[in-house]
Structure 1
């Protein structure tokens, strides 16, 4: 495959308003813009966590493609699960306490859907990247103190692994720690190479 330079390949667009995904993507050293997709993120009846994030990552990329007809568009979505139940973003302090008490001493699995859509050719690459976090046994005082310090109310699972959330864990396991934050960069790099974008050749 012929490799292209940064100036030659299609514009790169991150279909997200997440500051966490924006910071992660910036690590690759590529120029990109962001566009917030207008997508209903409601779960379908009996939809699995994996199917949900795959569908939403594709829908987000396709929604942004309407206004970017010649671009490489990155869509991503993430959910956390514990005991087979999907955890959403807590939104407030009380819900975050409930989520972390429920996660205490348990393994929480994060599923991150990733899509790279070439809106010029119509080509889609998509995957679901799992990542597992074993929570240590937490008491309510520890949870309260953590939440007051970090206030991770817009984060699935009620923590930020890139911050103090790391103190809540016994161990983590998975192929790409970036997936836990919301964007699997290893898989994204592979997808970009399939579109002729070699990061190390830039």
Structure 2
């Protein structure tokens, strides 16, 4: 009789804990996130003037046109267009500094940047740990102002002002370094040309 009672108690306890931890607690956190931080809870999505989602403020994108600021290089590749699908995963390449493949990629990146008149900085040459970082340093953005202004027919001061407006400060004013969100900056450039 005591074994049956303990078994029933164990099953009841397991069910109650499952109910609390698998249903009630996650539902409560989702509701709080949607109520208090709806933008963050939904992926920090960025839309264009037409209301179309063009990306997330948390995930970098690859820009290749001279009309745009370049992001950090990435080991993650995404296809584009109607058949868009993930072709890579988040994460660093895990290549050691002594690896010839990494040295070759870095040298190619440095050469490409110099050919485009951009002074290579560490964040324009090396990938981030997640390979999804949407930010570059203000220094890396400044090295691209002349190229972007020339490609768009804008004054360099106008482009620098946009860069400054899209520079995000340190987290809680003490952690990390200020960074320029490349997607937001490039969207601001596109919106500037439409006025």
Task: Tell whether the structures are fold-level matches, with TM greater than 0.5.
Answer: no
User: Relative to total residues, which structure has the larger helix share, 1 or 2?
Assistant: 2
